[in-house]
Structures are given as structure tokens and as C-alpha cells.
Structure 1
Amino acid sequence: MSENGENVFTHGPIPRVPVTDPTLGIQVDPSWTGRPRHRLVAVGDSLTQGFQSAAVFHTDVSYPAIIAHELGWSEHFRYPSYNGFGGLPFNLELFLRDLETRYGRDLDWWETAPALFHARRFMDKVEDYWERGAGTAVPSTTAINHNLAVFGWDLRDALDRSADVCRKRISTPKDNLVHQMVEHADDRAALRVLPTEPPEAANLSQLDAAARLGDDVGATDPTHGIETLIVFLGPNNALRSVVDLRVVWSDDGYDDPHRKGAFTVWRPEHFAAELRQVALEVREIKARHVIWCTVPHVTIAPIARGVAAKTAPGSAYFPYYTRPWISDRDFDPRQDPHLTAEQARAVDGAVDQYNYAIAAEVRGARDDGKDWYLLDTAGLLDRLGSRRYIEDPQARPDWWQPYPMPPELGALTPVPNSRFLGSDGTRRTNGGLFSLDGVHPTTVGYGILAQELINVMRRAGVQFFPPHSSTPRPDPVLVDFGRLIRHDTLINHPPGNLTSSLGLLGWADEKLDLLHRALHFTI
């Protein structure tokens, strides 16, 4: 394997052309009776759990919860909550607003020392809450959640981790005075997602738990317990490359839970091997419709900002990718963390191969008569990529078309885009689709994903209802983006100290290694 990964590309041409037909052109004509008890179940990672700004806390507006609301089924949709201290592992939005309350919009040089002390005290309180305080109390319930996603989990975790495994992984926490971050945050989060009662249920994995819901058939549909199952796994098999700004290709041990943490991006053949095991388990789940999401190109996320002019006219890639608060003028490849254009291209190429493998699983299932669908979230994000395509017409491939923003978002000033969130101290001046960690969507960003999934569900014949009504909604079924905008504080009221230079975030990352260590728990 060379550093730029040329010889991993074995499953299809690079770059890959996104799939626009969720059926892959394969006709399936199933017949259904009645309606399953569980209208929506989702298996995935941080993107499905509703992670934002380095924490999981807004689970009530995760994309599955948004879909459940539009289904008219939100009162029945079960999901975990993480309300204490802004969620797990560390809420950057809450942190910035706390600093703004104490020090105002601008942090002057003489305030940096007390601000650093205050930041460490804030981090210590968060750590204590989840490791030794009220956050250690796990709600006891025998009802299995419908949102079964856990941040930080990859394909292997979906196969192997259970509540019992997570409990064993959580050792006695250390009250570290320097590296103050909640230890085993993903395992702690999983204990609120996966079943823990009765005791024998604590050995169920994500996929096992979904299978239990599938087995919960009723009189109206004696065959399926789940109407629509969404599977969105795989981003964490590549995401660490842009979070760590380091490319380490998977090798022996990629499928070992104790050794896989050494790798930041999976070779396509390793990804395909893991995916095959996941797909075999999903085939056994009693769900009418299964929607698989492809893996987005992680290099589009603004956590890794392209530096300087692109490598050539018409290229999609910048010479280097570094942190968004490091300006072109200040960037020094000898000192600053970065990826090269060749590495970014190789990671994207590997992700393309992941998505060929996902499409192949969907194609095989449809050939076997299963009502599986493909949502090409990679193509969706590519159509929203501001610096890669929107601002550079020469780089656009033949298939590319700009994503049509929902009218409510198109009416905002500025229209949300995929750049890092910026503010002038009173209002948003840039970004809006990604939250403060530069990896996970804002609430309205999750709404776009929910809308695309709703479109596929309607293609599958899933009916949507107004709340407390038995009359189906007419097409098109549209997400209530007005409601989401009201919920989205980053859109309508960003922190006043989040200036366009991102200086405060850069300071926090330099002094506290804050963003890197917070995101490390999501992958």
C-alpha cells in the first residue's frame, strides 16, 4: 500500500458517479398486509444519533426523530436523552456561550490566563458529571429504542458491542487535571441506547436489538415488526483521517476491537469484508423496507480546510488540508497538522469503493426480492460542497448539479452553506450546515438528510400522517424547516464570540487540544 493509496482501488472507477435511483433500476414487487408495530428504526453512528458541536444532546431533532415527527409517529418513537451539562462528551456551543457570558464577545490578552483556568474548571465539571455524578445513572427500561445509533461506532462495533461489553470497557475513571475529557464517552452513551434490562438483553448488539424489534410482529402485519429500517454505518471507517489529519491505512487487526483504533481509514477490501457481515445480519431483520446510506466524502467537512489555490484548474483538491482557524497566510506545512492533496484524494477514493460495496449489497438484496434502497448521501454532500464545487465551476463533474435548498433555508441570509460556521458577533455570516465541530450537521443540516430519506420512503410507499390523524398526507411530504430553524440556535443565534477568524476555537484547541480530543470520542 502506497501512502496515497492508489492500489486500494479495485471495485470501480474513481471518482464514482453518485446513484440517483434508490432502486438501482431493479424492480421489486412485494405485497404487504397491515402496518408493522415499529414504523421506523435506525442503526448508525453519530450522524444518526444526532451529534452536534462535539456532543450528543439534541436527540429530539436527530434526523430519525425529524422523520418520526413527519410520520405523525413522534409520540411512539423512542430515543435516549443526554441532558446533563450539554451532553456527551463535550458541548462546544455550551462552552462558547459560557465564555461569552463571563468574558464577552472578545477575549482580551490579559483575560487569557483566567479564561484558561475557567475553561479547565468547566471541563472538570462536565467530566465529573458523567464519570462520577448524576450522569452515571443509566435509565432502566425493557423497551428497546428505535434510534439505536451510538456515536463513534463503526461496522465492527455494530456487530460486536453490547451493553455488557460497554460496561466492561468502562474502567474506573481518572480525574485527570490536564486531559479533562469524559473517558469512554461512547460506551457511556451506548448504555442509554442499547437494552440493559432484563439482564439477558444486555448482550444484544445494535443489530441484535433491531432484530428484536423486527421480531415484534403484530396482528395487522404478522411478517414484519419494522416498517422502515435505516442503516447508516461506515463514516467512522474513514473519519479519523480528517479529525487526526493523519492517514493510517487499516492492516492486520482491522476487525479486532482492541487493535482497530490504530487505523484512521479502512482499506476498501477490509471495509467490504466488515460490510458483508453487517449486511448478512440486516437480511435477517424483519423489516419491510431497508434504506442504506452511502458514506459521505469526509474531506468535504470543514474540520479540514483546504489551503491555498487548488492543485490545478478544474481540480477538486487543495494542496493541503488543515484546521479551519489556520489561515492561508499563517499555514506552515513544516509545523501545522495537515493532509496533502494526494492523501485527501486517496481517502475519497477509498470512500468511493466503500460505496460501491454498499450499492452491491443493496443490488444483491433487491435481486433476491428484498425491498432495499440506496440513499447516496455521498452525492448529497458533494452537491452541497461549497469550496469543492459550488465556488469552483471548473471542478464540477458532468453529473454535478447544485442541491435545491428548501425555501425556508433559501430565504435565510446568508443561505446556509458547507463552510465553517462564522458570526460577526450578532448574526451568522457564513456556514450553517455544519455545527461547531466542523464534522456533524446543524439541526437544519439534519433536516436536509431527513428530507432525502423521506423521499425514498415515499418511493417505497410509506404513508405519512399529520399528528393524531388517520388521513395520509399528500405528496410531496416536506420537512417542516420552519420548526427546525426555531430549534437551531446556531442558525438563528450563534455564539457572539464565534468570529469569522475562529480565533477563540483555535485558542481552545491550541491550549486544551479541545476539538481534537472531543471528536476523538466520536470515532
Structure 2
Amino acid sequence: MADPVELPTPAKVVAARELPAREPVQDPTLRIPVNRDWEGKPEPRHRLVTIGDSLTHGFQSGAIFNTDISFPAIIAHELGWGGGFRHPSYPGYGGLPLNIELLLRELEERFGKNLDWWEAPLALFHARGFLDKAEDYWERGPGKDVPRTIGINHNLGVYGWDVRDVLSKSAKICRDAIDEPKDNFLKQVVQNDGDRAALRVLPSAGIDGDENMTVLAAAQRLGEDRSADQRHGIETLIVFVGANNALQTVTKLKVKWSGPDYKDLKGKESYTVWDPDHFKEELWELAKQVRGIAARHVIWCTVPHVTIAPIARGVARKMTIGSRYYPYYTRPWTSDRDFNPTVHPHVTGEQARDIDLAIDLYNDAITAQVKSARDDGRDWYLMDTAGLLDRLAAKRYIDDPNARPAWWQPYPLPPQLAALPTPPNSHFLTSDGNGRTDGGLFSLDGVHPTTVGYGIMAQELVNVMRLAGVEFRHLDGTVRPDPVLVDFDRLIRRDTLINQPPGNLTSGFEVLAWAEASISLLKRTLYFRG
């Protein structure tokens, strides 16, 4: 089927070009008081439920695997409820679809820390073998069978999903979408990996035989699981979705605005960024369903500016003094010296600005939904993830004082992170062979956080939950006093990219560049899911 006609930049985005940079929302309550009539009553059975995409699922370095340290799992641990928090698991070959960290460690073990250019073909041949084994595991081996679950997952995030997917997709839709596996020599990647991953989230929602249940319906079922004297089955519901309505602009380096079939699961596949009016309509439907979920508190997260993620590296100098944008954005392994706009995939600075403006309009719509709910007396909150990432944006703001808007202040890293020999930042992760030399907030796919990066998200959400009156407990059940702080020492120990990154990151970049230029190995495997 031919691609639809490419649509022009939406009029609302064009009009927003004259506006200043969006100022983050500082008060999660939007300064609207609500009646907290639940105070003093027992907490609901399900203390935390999350709906979202890869950032909620726990995606990292090109794969979903460390779901026990996703940001929802980190929060559950701090609640003292980690043992009760249900989440999917993805054992075997580093998860789905491609664990870049594990692949680089395999190459390091075989070829050493320094990979010479003439070893690149051998390295890629070895990489193909790794991909082949992973493909066999998930398509034909133990990974193809979805494990039985004991109940509905509390983490209902699924990587790659946009708002329409959250509204529509079910286990039946995902299962029906999985094609008969084919062993393609040049495309050794797990087919239908996103649908396979979703089945480990959704079937638990179908424990009563209802394979048409969406994650929203699953959350509604958890909300109904309550005692006779309670109004809510869920204490805190976090909704964090919308990044995939713009993320592919930087992962595919292509800008294609949504058309009239944006609600169609197949028709929307070619779009990389949603018209703000389309997003607003989808969001309205999502918020309507969330209102039907019996949750004591609901936290909505805004959509981060995807052009800050280091997967799209700004080329050369910024467009003008004081600008947030570079003239071009391309792959992080393409140097300024080698970059050629007629050869290398890229988006322009003007396109990057329009993407950010669209996201600002998405976030205005999310904020409006929270305001409307609080006006109706609902205990809803806004966690401004976009503002959080802006405060951590190294190349955009930290490295360029001239680009900082009047409201901008750097985000204070937790003391444990600030005390590291190289405090983490939002640059692409690099190593000198002995340890990390730069980056540390983003994992090796350049899109998703490292474990400590997820920890920062968890801390900000913990702060909002405390504002809502949620009690956090020690393992012995005693209430934790304020401030409730995420255990970053624990996360640093778990974060292998922080404490022991692959020693071949620099030469690994050269392999990635060679692969992209010669056989397009990355075309299927490194269009990272959101």
C-alpha cells in the first residue's frame, strides 16, 4: 500500500512558532484544591497501577528486560510494596527485541575493548549470530510461550504504544498480528516483537477468558477489586503516554504528520508525529476512560521533548546565538566532519522546533484534562516530565547559557549521583575502556533512561505521591518520614552502564556506523521503540 500524501505542518504548530519556550508547571495540583475525604481510611488493595509506553514498561538499551527496576517497580519498592507489585518479565537473550548492551559485551569478550576497522565485518558476522539466537529463542523457543499469571499486572505499560494503542489494543489483536516466523539472513530480528512483548502484559488481564480486554479495562478491573466500604481499588494510578505520538521523528529521522486515519491501527503506522488536534481528540477519549477507573489519586505525566534525547545528535553549531536548535540532527555515530545532508538521514532545526511545539500543545491538552478533573473534585495531579527533561538537557541548556529561558534552573542531581567521579548527564554514553566518561542518564539506545535515570523519574513521582498524602513504609510496616528519598545507592549497584559500561563503546560506534552504511543492519533493529 502506498504511503498517504505527506501533509503540511499543522496550522496550530505554525502559529506557535512565535511563542516563547513552554514554561514547566511547578505545582502538580495546578493550585486547585480538592476535598480529600479519603484521609484516615485504609489504603486500597492495589497501591500502584501504571499505564504507559516504554518509559513505564522499563525499556532500556534497545530491549525490555529489567522490568524489576522500571520506574514503577522502583516506586513500589520505596512504598514497601515491592513484593506485591506485579509486572511482566522477559528472560532470555537480554529481552526483546535487541539488547545493545549485551551485544556490545559479547563483542568485547570476542574482540577486546578496541575493535579495529578491519574487524568490523567479523564483528557484524558475530552480531548476526547473536541476533539469530535471540530470534530463535523468542520466535520458536521457550520465549514464544506466554507464561500464566496469577492476576492482572500492576505495570500495564507496553513499549511502542501511542495513545490509540492504549485505547484499542488487546491480547487478541496482538496475537492475531503475529506473523508466521521467517528466517531472513539480513533481517535477524524478532518478528512482531512489540506484540510478543504486549502479550506478557495483556494475557494477565484476560484471566477470565476475555482476550479483548485493553490495559484500560484491566486497570478498571483492578479498581473494582475493593472491599464493600471502599470507593477505590487503586491507591495511585499513573498515566504516562503520548511520547510515541512524536518519538519516531527522531528514531527514524523523518517528519510525517498524522492524517485523517490516525485512529486506525494500521493506517497510523506511517505517521511519526501527530497533529495536535488529533492528539487532543485521542487524549479526550483516554481521559474519559481514566475517569471510569476507581483510583484514589491519578497522576498524569507530560510528554518529554523527544529532540533532547541523544539518539538525534545536533550537528555543528546552533542555528543562532541563543537558539535551542542545531541546523541538523543526525545519528550520534555520524561526526560533524562526515555529515552530509544529501547522504545521511536527518531532521532540520526547523523541523525539530516544530516537533517540540507540537509536544508543547500535547502537554497543554494534558494539563487541561488535569485542570478539568480537579475542577470536578477529582484528586488528579500533573507531573511535568517535559520540564524535568528540559532541566537535564545538556546540549540544549546546560552547555549553552545563551539558550536558557528565564525560568530555567538546572536539576539538582541526587547526592549519590552528584558524588560519582563523572556525574551523569544527558549526553550519549561514552567510555574510555576503563569507565564511563560522559552521559549516564540515557541508555545505549539514546532514547530510554539508564536505571539511575529511571530513578530520577521515580523520585519526582514519589514527591507528587507524598503531596497527595500517599504513605511510604519501611519493610517492617512503619511509616517513613519526609522526605521520602529513592535509594540511589541500590540503583547505582544495579546500573551496569553507570558502574561498569562496556569498554568498547567508542569502537562499537564505528561498527554501528559501518553497519548503517554497508548493509543497513540497523534499519530494523535500531528504530527504537518508545
TM-score range, shorter chain: over 0.9
Larger CA deviation: 51-60 vs 196-205: 196-205
For residues 456 and 287 of structure 1, the distance between their equivalents in structure 2, rounded to whole angstroms, comes to: 15
Per-residue deviation, residues 359-417 of structure 1 (Å, max 9, x unmatched) = 00000000000000000000000000000000100100011000000000001121100
Q: CA–CA distance in 2 between the matches of 1:450 and 1:440?
A: 14
Where does 1:424-503 land on structure 2 (aligned, <5 Å)?
424-467=432-475, 469-499=476-506, 502-503=509-510
Q: 1:514 to 1:417 in 2, by over 3 A?
A: farther
Distance (Å, rounded) in 2 between the aligned partners of 1:206 and 1:281: 11
What is the distance in 1 between the residues matched to 2:118 and 2:455? 42
The alignment partner of 1:450 has SS state of helix
**Residues 484 and 511 of structure 1: CA distance in aligned 2, closer, same or farther (over 3 Å):** farther
For 2:509 and 2:128, how far apart are their aligned partners in 1? 20
Looking at structure 2, the residues matched to 289 and 514 of structure 1 have their Cα atoms a distance apart, in angstroms, of: 45
Report the Cα distance in structure 2 between the residues aligned to 1:128 and 1:144, rounded to whole angstroms.
28
CA deviations over 1:325-348 (Å, ceiling 9, x no partner):
111111111111111010000000
Q: Is the 8 A contact 1:437 1:515 kept in 2?
A: no
Residues 1:267 and 2:275 aligned together:
yes
Comparing 323-332 and 66-75, the one that deviates more: 323-332
The 5-angstrom pairing of residues 14-413 of structure 1 reads 14-32=20-38, 33-196=41-204, 197-198=206-207, 200-218=209-227, 222-413=230-421
Give the TM-score taking structure 1 as reference length: 0.97
Matched residues, percent identical?
63
Instruction: Indicate conservation of the 8 Å contact 1:46/1:152, yes or no.
Output: yes
**Are 2:524 and 1:517 aligned?**
yes
Q: How many residues align?
A: 521
Ranges in structure 1 where 5+ consecutive residues have no aligned partner: none
Deviations 1:68-106 (A, max 9, x none): 000000010000110110000000000000011011112
Partners of 2:304 and 2:397 lie apart in 1 by 15
Distance 1:141 1:160 in 2: 22
CA contact (8 A) 2:131 2:188 kept: yes
- Kindly state the Cα deviation for residue 137 of structure 1 after the two structures are TM-superposed: 1.0
Q: Is the 2:7–2:257 contact (alpha carbons within 8 Å) kept by the matching residues of 1?
A: no
1:158-188: CA deviations, max 9, x gaps?
Answer: 0110111111011211111111111111110
Contact 2:56 2:157 in 1 (8 A): yes
Aligned equivalents of 1:10, 1:271: Cα separation in 2: 17
Q: Counterpart amino acid of 1:163? A: A
**Inter-partner Cα distance in structure 1 for 2:76 and 2:444:** 26
- TM-score with structure 2 length normalisation? 0.95
Aligned to 2:425: 417
- How far does residue 8 in structure 1 lie from its aligned partner after superposition? 3.1
Match of 1:39, SS state, is strand
In 2, the alpha carbon distance for the partners of 1:258 and 1:141 equals 29
CA distance in 2, matches of 1:349, 1:244: 19
Cα offset for 1:118? 1.3
CA–CA distance in structure 1, aligned partners of residues 521 and 311 of structure 2:
13
Residues 10 and 353 in structure 1, CA contact (< 8 A), matched pair in contact too = no
Cα separation, 1, equivalents of 2:375 and 2:386: 23
CA distance in 2, matches of 1:90, 1:399: 39
CA shift, 1:500, in A, is 8.0
Q: Aligned-pair RMSD on alpha carbons?
A: 1.7
| Contact 2:447/2:528 (8 A) holds in 1 | no
SS of alignment partner, residue 156 of structure 2:
coil
**What 5-or-longer segments of structure 2 have no aligned partner?**
1-5
Q: Which moved more, 1:169-178 or 1:425-434?
A: 169-178
- Counterpart CA distance in 1 for 2:77 and 2:521 is 34
**SS of match in other structure, 1:151:** coil
> Deviations 1:129-150 (Å, cap 9, x if unpaired)?
1111110010112400000000
* 1:275 partner amino acid: L
Question: What letter is aligned with 1:303?
Answer: I
Q: Deviations over 1:187-241 (max 9, x none)?
A: 100111113543533211011101110010125x521000000000000000000
Q: 1:134 to 1:231 in 2, by over 3 A?
A: same
- The AA in structure 2 aligned to 1:423 is S
Q: CA deviation at 1:34?
A: 1.3
Q: CA, structure 1 residues 52+99, in 2 after alignment: closer, same or farther (shift >3 Å)?
A: same
Q: C-alpha distance in 2, partners of 1:47/1:512?
A: 30
AA matched with 1:200: G
Q: Report the CA distance between 1:3 and its aligned residue.
A: 4.9
Q: Measured at CA, do residues 83 and 34 of structure 1 come closer, stay the same or move farther in structure 2, by a change above 3 Å?
A: same
Aligned CA distance change for structure 1 residues 238 and 226 (closer, same or farther; 3 Å): same
Asked whether the 8 Å contact 1:5–1:346 carries over to 2, the reply is no
Quick check: 482-491 or 112-121, which moved more? Answer: 112-121
Change (3 A) 1:378 1:360: same
CA offset at residue 521 of structure 1? Answer: 6.0
Q: Which amino acid aligns with 1:28?
A: V
1:506 equivalent in alignment to 2:526: no
**What is the CA distance between 1:109 and its match in structure 2?**
3.4
